[in-house]
A and B are shown apart, each in its own frame.
Chain A
Amino acid sequence: QKEVEQNSGPLSVPEGAIASLNCTYSDRVSQSFFWYRQYSGKSPELIMSIYSNGDKEDGRFTAQLNKASQYVSLLIRDSQPSDSATYLCAVKPRYNNNDMRFGAGTRLTVKP
């Protein structure tokens, strides 16, 4: 079982729509969860972190965490063409280690 799983996409949404990106993880004791955005040929860029069950909003972005279901998602409201990128879900897999593991990423295309 992969540690962090994401649908690879591509996910295509029209400009102005809500994009919904999903991620599941295997390590039940994971404590910290992150969403990164990666443009083609560039490095991952942190969008949001979430540590507690529920929703966390930051501008057009909302992260949702459900530890019981081992599920984390990212909603992008009012999607813009500039949001077109690969979105990486990252999880800190074990309580006392200091590395982070990434999903394969979901490629999002926002069409004007």
Chain B
Amino acid sequence: EPEVTQTPSHQVTQMGQEVILRCVPISNHLYFYWYRQILGQKVEFLVSFYNNEISEKSEIFDDQFSVERPDGSNFTLKIRSTKLEDSAMYFCASSEAWRRGWPFSPLHFGNGTRLTVT
């Protein structure tokens, strides 16, 4: 069964450093997402991406975050200057195309990247 893959599984970085989290969505999916989950807390929406642009972003997704689809397969999340509070599990997800009036396709999640900022 096709799956979303994320690398690395664990990233340790120092405060103020830049990190790039990588994801390969399911090949025929057109919507891509990043969520994060701070330890013991809920899964929080960061950003959605469609047709090579951000579709929606949450208040968490401030100027230190950016997303990119540099080629036909990868989808990346960059955090420019990491803070201690950025420590979390970051999940990439993808879904099939959605059309107004049709049921929303479920999200398929990767295994996550655990980011630890020291």
**Taking beta carbons and an 8 Å cutoff, which residues of A are in contact with B?**
31-32, 34, 38, 42-46, 49, 51, 88, 90, 92, 95-105
- CB of A100 within 8 A of CB of B104, answer yes
- Given contacts A31-B103, A51-B103, A99 and B110 within 8 Å (CB-CB): no
- Given contacts A43-B109, A43-B112, A101 and B100 within 8 Å (CB-CB): no
Interface of A is mostly: loop
Interface size class of B (residues with CB under 8 A): 20 to 34
Interface of B is mostly: strand
Extra inter-chain contacts (7) besides given A49-B106, A97-B48, A99-B45, CB under 8 Å: A43-B109, A43-B110, A43-B111, A45-B109, A49-B103, A98-B55, A105-B43
Instruction: Tell me the complex Cα distance, A105–B38, Å.
Output: 13
Say yes or no for B108: interface residue by CB 8 A criterion. Answer: yes
- CB of B106 within 8 A of CB of A34, answer yes
- CB of A46 within 8 A of CB of B108, answer yes
Measured CB to CB, the nearest residue on chain A to B107 is: A100
Instruction: Tell me the complex Cα distance, A49–B98, Å.
Output: 15
- CB of A100 within 8 A of CB of B45, answer yes
Those 5 A-B pairs whose CB atoms lie nearest each other, nearest first: A32-B104, A43-B109, A104-B42, A102-B43, A92-B104
Instruction: Tell me the complex Cα distance, A92–B43, Å.
Output: 14
Measured CB to CB, the nearest residue on chain B to A32 is: B104
The B86-102 residues at the A interface (CB cut-off 8 A) are 91, 95, 98, 100
Say yes or no for B33: interface residue by CB 8 A criterion. Answer: yes
Instruction: Kindly list chain A residues whose C-beta atoms are within 8 Å of the C-beta of B100.
Output: 95-96
